[in-house]
Structure 1
Amino acid sequence: MVDLWMPGATRHSLGNTGAMNGGPARAVWHITSNAKDWTFARELGWFTGGGASVAPHLLWDPFTGEIAQFFPADSRSLSLQNAGDVKTNRTGKYCIQIEIVFTEGETVNGKKYATVRDTPCKNLDKIVAWLRSLGIPDTWPGGAPTGFTRDTVSLDAWLKLGGHYGHNQVPGNSHVDPGPMPNLFATVPAPQKPPTTKPKVSLAHVVYAAKHDPAAAQGHTSYKSEVLLVEKALAAEKLLASQWVDGSYGTKTLTAYAAWQRKLGYTGSDADGTPGKTSLTRLGDKHGFAVTA
């Protein structure tokens, strides 16, 4: 179950929630762009007071790492203008609006910062991790913002494509923020899928099953499961009928494996239906099992 309130963000619920319209999840990035006051406290006071009618989900200070949240993830926030009849704040399963406490060219501790990309971006990794947990993909459908200019995506793209957008890209809006952004997706590595472990088939076990009475070979439980893997692969090759996929290396399986060997170019005694290392390995590589000695 996802966290609708970002872990680590201070919660300042404004109430006034609204349902989303469904569709691909997305996030929209903004900057506060306040020429008079660049502090997190000032912007927090604004969005919990007179600016509540235009509040985002998150307010983030890239210098201090402070993060506040005003709406749960499954509610629309209020930072976007509509695009005609399309209520852009409600587009998607989630449409997370992030206001960055930043103004183009602001000076902090004697240093001037031209873009968000130049800031320390403290705790950005935590925001990205939370957005990923909501199913928002690591992509900019309209391309990452490159300047303080409009770069509007089509309404069709906005409705159909999940991912990250700049405020400057959302249809129906006129703003040019957030300007050049850092590489969001490098801030925290994308989760890696665990390596797939292939089932193992012992060449010695399968050869034993092929050379002995099938009933005797079936007495070895592991042998039967390994033979089943081989038989399923032979059935996938359309060399063995499904009713003979039973874990018993009988004459039908022997005949089918001989056909597999001939398919690989073997002839004579090399195509007698008893597996060899090369032919079994090639069958396993094609059908998802690994061969051991």
Structure 2
Amino acid sequence: MVDLWMPGAARHSVGNTGAMNGGPARAVWHITSNATDWTFRNELGWFTGGGADVAPHLLYDPFTGEIAQFFPADSRSLSLQNAGDVRINRTGKYCVQIEIVFTEGETVNGKKYNSVRDTPCKNLDKIVAWLRSLGIADVWPGGSPTGFTRDTVSMDSWTKLGGHYGHNQIPGNSHVDPGPMPSLFGATPVTPPKPPTPAKPKVSLAHVIYAAKHDPAAAQGHTTYKAEVLIVEKALKAEGFLSSQYVDGSFGSLTVTAYARWQRSPAGGGYVGTAADGIPGSASLKRLGAKHGFTVTD
């Protein structure tokens, strides 16, 4: 199950949620572009107060790494304008809007910053990792924004292609943000190592033949034999030839009868006569193992 609320983000639900229309998941990047106020605290106050009617999903400060969230990922937010009768905010399974607290040319600690790309981008990797977890692809269908200018994608591209977009690329909108963006996908996503494939259980042909031909109680005295017989019996049960109450590690007469039915079946080899006597043979046992995940040692 995915996290609809980003782990580590301060949750400030503004309510007023709305359903998405479905389709490829995407994210849209904005900047606050406030010429008089560059603080995360004040922008947070705006979006939880008088600006709640234009709130995004996330508010992000690239200098401090602070992140706040106003809507769950499966709700539309309110940062985009409609394009005619197309409700742009509702496009996709997810359409996560990220407002970066940034203004072109702002000065922080005596240094002037002309684009988000120039900032420290603290915790940006955590946002991208969360977006990936939602199934948002590492791609810019309209190209990564490189300037403060319009670069509108077609409505067909917007509705059909998931991935990342700049506000300047969205049909029906007139904004030119976010401007030049950092490389969101510069580092190859870390793929967790796959768990090792469990080794297939092994069944000794000699052991199960012994168990089938001798006193079942004597065979059960061999712990290994009993475990191997159980593997065979479970496979016979899965084939519909043995009832569950007889899956007990004892290769008794009912298991012999069940195995004979397997030998006579087309999957078991279609044997007839004495070749289908219920005593496992190498070929029929290997066929059973191939279907039910165990290997046979002769």
TM score, norm. by length of structure 2: 0.66
- Local SS of the residue matching 1:164: strand
Instruction: For 2:138, give the aligned amino acid.
Output: T
The answer to whether the 8 A contact 1:21-1:92 is kept is yes
Structure 1 residue 224 and structure 2 residue 225: aligned? no
Q: What are the Cα deviations for residues 62-119 of structure 1, in whole angstroms up to 9, with x where unaligned? A: 1101122333434322110112211111223432211011234544334444433332
- CA drift of 1:194 comes to 4.9
Judging changes above 3 Å, is the alpha-carbon distance between structure 1 residues 214 and 32 closer, same or farther for their aligned structure 2 residues? farther
Aligned to 2:275: none
Distance in structure 2 (CA, Å) of the matches to 1:53 and 1:9: 20
Please identify, of 93-102 and 28-37, the stretch whose mean Cα deviation from structure 2 is larger.
Answer: 28-37
Larger Rg: 2
The sequence identity of aligned pairs, in percent, is 58
Instruction: For 1:136, give the aligned amino acid.
Output: G
Q: What are the Cα deviations for residues 2-24 of structure 1, in whole angstroms up to 9, with x where unaligned? A: 55444433344444x13123314
Aligned to 2:30: 30
Unpaired runs of at least 5, structure 2: 248-254, 270-279
Aligned to 1:70: 70
Q: What are the Cα deviations for residues 127-177 of structure 1, in whole angstroms up to 9, with x where unaligned? A: 3344345x2333326165141244444434433444433223322223333
- Local SS of the residue matching 1:200: coil
What does 1:106-125 align with in structure 2 at a 5 Å threshold?
A: 106-125=106-125
Distance in structure 2 (CA, Å) of the matches to 1:257 and 1:13: 59
Judging changes above 3 Å, is the alpha-carbon distance between structure 1 residues 46 and 213 closer, same or farther for their aligned structure 2 residues? closer
The answer to whether the 8 A contact 2:145-2:166 is kept is no
Please identify, of 104-113 and 61-70, the stretch whose mean Cα deviation from structure 2 is larger.
Answer: 104-113
The answer to whether the 8 A contact 1:20-1:91 is kept is no
Structure 1 residue 40 and structure 2 residue 40: aligned? yes
Aligned to 1:238: none
Distance in structure 1 (CA, Å) of the matches to 2:214 and 2:104: 79
Aligned to 1:263: none
The answer to whether the 8 A contact 1:207-1:274 is kept is no
Aligned to 2:208: 209
The answer to whether the 8 A contact 1:198-1:290 is kept is no
Unpaired runs of at least 5, structure 1: 236-241, 260-271
Please identify, of 37-46 and 22-31, the stretch whose mean Cα deviation from structure 2 is larger.
Answer: 37-46
What does 1:1-293 align with in structure 2 at a 5 Å threshold?
A: 3-15=3-15, 17-24=16-23, 25-133=25-133, 135-140=134-139, 142=141, 145-148=144-147, 149-178=149-178, 179-184=180-185, 186=187, 189=190, 192=192, 194-195=194-195, 197-198=197-198, 200-204=200-204, 206-210=205-209, 213=212, 220-227=225-232, 242=239, 250=259, 273-274=281-282, 289=293, 291=295
Distance in structure 1 (CA, Å) of the matches to 2:208 and 2:166: 63
Instruction: For 1:137, give the aligned amino acid.
Output: I
Q: What are the Cα deviations for residues 172-216 of structure 1, in whole angstroms up to 9, with x where unaligned? A: 2233332323325849745x3752633523153x44325663786
The answer to whether the 8 A contact 2:65-2:121 is kept is yes
- Local SS of the residue matching 2:231: helix
- Local SS of the residue matching 2:195: coil
- Local SS of the residue matching 2:159: helix
Judging changes above 3 Å, is the alpha-carbon distance between structure 1 residues 165 and 153 closer, same or farther for their aligned structure 2 residues? same
Instruction: For 1:180, give the aligned amino acid.
Output: M
The answer to whether the 8 A contact 2:61-2:67 is kept is yes
- CA drift of 1:28 comes to 1.5
Distance in structure 1 (CA, Å) of the matches to 2:160 and 2:213: 57
Q: What are the Cα deviations for residues 226-275 of structure 1, in whole angstroms up to 9, with x where unaligned? A: 3368879xx9xxxxxx556899684566688996xxxxxxxxxxxx9526
Judging changes above 3 Å, is the alpha-carbon distance between structure 1 residues 257 and 13 closer, same or farther for their aligned structure 2 residues? closer
TM score, norm. by length of structure 1: 0.67
Instruction: For 2:33, give the aligned amino acid.
Output: S
The answer to whether the 8 A contact 2:34-2:103 is kept is yes
Distance in structure 2 (CA, Å) of the matches to 1:111 and 1:288: 67
Distance in structure 1 (CA, Å) of the matches to 2:292 and 2:146: 48
